[in-house]
Amino acid sequence: MQTLLEHSLCIAEDTPDGRHLEYWVNQPVDVYLVIRQQDERSGDAAIRWMNITQYLKEREDKASRQIVFSGEKLDLPAVWRVRDRFFRR
């Protein structure tokens, strides 16, 4: 179960052994969190994404179930940057 709290996400350990975050980190491919956000003032919507695998591996507090969402806009240049990390030109 995931609950979005402003720009923070709490992950409930809904697996029997409590290893939900460990499961995400150990996937053979990166796991991305994709969120659609709407600006309260303008009403404009944006889709943002974040590499959760990288975030979980690099953060200092490995035991925390909170993810601070700091995603970037999901657009073609963002997708191309990820593609270019795997397929060099």
* pLDDT tens string 10-59: 555 555 555 677 777 888 888 898 988 887 888 888 899 999 889 988 98
Report yes or no: 53 and 30 within 8 Å, Cβ to Cβ: yes
Is 7 a residue whose pLDDT tops 60? Answer: no
The pLDDT of residue 8 is: 55
* CA dihedral of 47, 82, 33, 66, whole degrees rounded to 10: -120
- Give the pLDDT mean for 51-79: 86
pTM above 0.75, yes or no: no
Distance separating the N- and C-terminal Cα atoms of the chain:
39
